[in-house]
A and B are shown apart, each in its own frame.
Chain A
């Protein structure tokens, strides 16, 4: 990627909703290419900057599916502010591991984990008002907002994320072909 001194940098925001931060770790797996990326990109809201709210951005990268009310708010904030919104990883695309609870009753799940589990004496489902309310089902992000691109993988490799971002920033239509396109 060419150096673009004087050019406005591409603003990128990232977040993890119902994810494990594995996709963010994979982002770091771009290794020294991060330095290349840093020449043309600046970060808005992201675990890398610790900025709490997203401003106007060019690219939003979303890891994880939508499992609670806060996820919905964050996702909508990203959609409002990002010109291009990208679903990164299996959970953002199809719910992934958190969605394995989707065929179970949410109340039964909470009872099983916080009340009925062996070894719990005085259990109780956490109800602190600080805690975001859970949705009855975990949703892929495209069921909540419009999504422009998808990068599958659990997680997508650093190579896949690099290929996608350099294509997008370089003005090419991003395309991940086999074997960069992977669902696991």
Chain B
């Protein structure tokens, strides 16, 4: 083997030499800044809640309630986070939750008992995700349009199934899960389900090839395709995953409300997107964290709770939410620029 002329080595970028000792730490530190600032916001909120309504807010029952409320939207947000990291969007999550919750609570479905309801909810979710995914990945439809169409159709179908009526659940096994007696060490089963989904979501995003591909597709789909990865199949899987999360959330909502309604999951899409965004997920794809999204959900739910305890109407809540989204994105832009 011939040894070529000794090549010059003068193309080392000037920037990196300074960061040489521990760039890993720099990366970790930056991630931490984002997470810590979200934790800080949450701490401030808890402080505000504790000061304004010391007895009610810090009451165990209230905290259980907050976490339970966060759980349903939280599961949806985990799926949404994957989709947004991949550069997509899923506007149909709320509608899928509604459709899955009513389909799973029809009289016919309830004949099949607990597992019948659970499976139906999950299957409807996955089925809707499949339609989304096929349209987007193989039909080359823009995610915004495809999922907007799904939003409209799924809501319509949900209304058709219920005819606007509330479908009461009569299965004790399901109703029991919402009762105090089934709390495990004071933790409601719904919160546990949320925790499990979060942990699995974190592991999938950070420790599996599926997670890697999700980030790669969102960062640069063309480069990912040219690297030999099946981008379309990955996109299909991502919308399936979002649908699956919606199905699980629908089941949780059935437990929570003891019923299925076509108005369930109203505006979940906006809440989930907002939570992911304030959690640091780039709407353009390529970057995002499960932890950030979950903190985003907790922040929103806590605000809602504090406002409700202080007898502030939902209009004020909405305004506050909007302000928080803007503030969070502005703060993140600043930290991104200075690093």
Instruction: Answer yes or no: do A and B interact.
Output: no
Binding site for B on A (CB under 8 A): none
Binding site for A on B (CB under 8 A): none
